[in-house]
Amino acid sequence: RRKIIIDCDPGHDDAIAILLAAASPKVELIGITTVAGNAEVDKTTINALKVCEIAGLHEVPVAKGAGQPLVRKRETAPDIHGDSGMDGPMLPEPTKTIVEEHAVDFIIRELLQSDGDITLVPTGPLTNIAMALRKEPAIAPKIREIVLMGGGTFGNWTPAAEFNIYVDAEAAKVVFESGVPIAMFGLDLTHQALATPEVQKRIREIGNPVSDFVEELLQFFMQTYKEVFGFDGAPIHDACCVAYCIDPSVFTCRKLHVDIETKGEFTYGMTVVDTLGTTGKEPNAHVALELDIDKFWNLMINALTFYTEK
Ligand code: BDR
Ligand code: CA
């Protein structure tokens, strides 16, 4: 079983990523850490706890992390995720509380104690991961892989930049220059993981409390994607990272060099992907380019069906 820590900002698709991980025998979710992103960190933390509650993840520690990007002023995404960061479903207040340790210290301790077999799965801005790498550089060789959602060859926050990278591009730069193996799931890939009305119907038909929760998440998320981008569906970005940890054969990737733009007037937060090798720089990321759509949704439907028997 592949050990993972999900570092997230739930977030409709972050929530689905957690639920997918919790249902799979192929991964072991050893912790959830939270960061400011879709909403302020207090909100994303409550949301993470609520997801744990509904998934029955009573033993998985949740550690709260950074409330502000490294350098820039915080930006959140209420137009897409609502004011709470996870608007739509009504969930009871969670019974579980966070651990006392800060997310950055949690990540460092887990990695240092490990045999080098932990994968980090960041599905929000990269603030916590960059802070951990800076605070304890000895973790770098201990990280099996960083499987992150971010970037792409087009943007959804600016024409050039995807939200997670844009919100803390300085942090993203630290991560991409760390030398740690990276798998990057950018918008080119995640927009192929589009929850359409047909997918929504399949999920509705499962009919257990967790699939009902996901269906309610989709109702809200698909509505905002319609309003903001005119899409007939919503990309379940963050779940792609978890799907990769479960079954990498769902994706076609290429090893490429990726730089993070932190200075551009129009391009701040852009992932500059060297597709044709013009820089001559060594590849630093496995860039996911193509999704096996059927395999992906079957994985998801199976995971949600698992909660019927649980
Ligand atoms: C990313 O930003 C957030 O809105 C989503 O949760 C995802 O992680 C997509 O750009
Ligand atoms: Ca996210």
pLDDT digits (tens, 9 = 90+) for 141-190: 999 999 999 999 999 999 999 999 999 999 999 999 999 999 999 999 99
Half-sphere exposure of 55 (CA within 13 A, CB side): 23
C-alpha–C-alpha distance, residues 249 and 288, integer Å: 11
Question: Which of 174, 122, 176, 116 has its CA nearest to residue 147?
Answer: 122
Burial track 32-68 (b if 16+ CB lie within 10 A, e otherwise)? bbbbbbbbbbebbbbbbbbbbbbbebeebbbbbbbee
- Are 55 and 120 spatial neighbours (Cβ–Cβ below 8 Å)? no
Q: 44 CB under 6 A from ligand 1?
A: no
CB 123 near ligand 1, within 6 Å: yes
Answer yes or no: is pLDDT of 218 > 80. Answer: yes
Q: Give me the chain's average pLDDT, please.
A: 98
11 CB within 6 A, ligand 1 = yes
Q: Specify the range with the lowest mean pLDDT, choosing from 55-59, 94-98, 297-301, 306-310.
A: 306-310
What's phi and psi for 220, nearest 5 deg?
-70, -50
What residues does 31 pair with on adjacent strands? Answer: 5
Closest residue by Cα to residue 288 from 218, 194, 188:
188
Q: Evaluate whether 124 touches 172 at the Cβ level (below 8 Å).
A: no
Please give the pLDDT value at position 255.
Answer: 98
The DSSP bridge partners found for residue 133 are none
The preferred substitution site among 149, 166, 190, 225 for testing ligand 1, maximizing ligand atoms within 8 Å of CB, is 149
Phi-psi map region of 205: left, alpha, beta (phi>0 left; psi -120 to 50 alpha): alpha
Q: Which residues contact 223 (CB under 8 A, 6 or more apart)?
A: none
Listed in sequence order, the DSSP H helices in 24-91 are 41-55, 78-81
What is the Rg, in whole angstroms, of the alpha carbon atoms belonging to the chain? 18
Res. 114: pLDDT tops 80: yes
The answer, as to whether pTM is greater than 0.95, is: yes
Between residues 93 and 129, the one the model is more confident about: 129
CA dihedral (159, 272, 186, 242) positive or negative: negative
Mutate which of 43, 163, 231 for ligand 1? The one with the most ligand atoms within 8 Å of its CB, which is 163
Q: Helix 293-309 vs helix 239-246: angle between axes, to the nearest 10 degrees?
A: 90
Q: How far is CA 185 from its chain centroid?
A: 9
Residue type, 43: K
pLDDT on residue 3? 98
Q: What is the mean pLDDT of residues 300-308?
A: 97
Is residue 8 within 8 Å of residue 47, measured between CB atoms? no
Residues 216-243: what's their mean pLDDT?
98
What is the complex's ipTM, to 2 decimals? 0.99
Which distant-in-sequence residues (6+ apart) come within 8 Å of 202 by Cβ?
297, 301
Q: Of 236, 233, 252, nearest to 303 (Cα)?
A: 236
Per-residue pLDDT at 310: 74
CA distance 237 to 281: 28
Catalytic residue among 9, 13, 105, 168, which? Answer: 9
Is the Cβ atom of 261 under 6 angstroms away from ligand 1? Answer: no
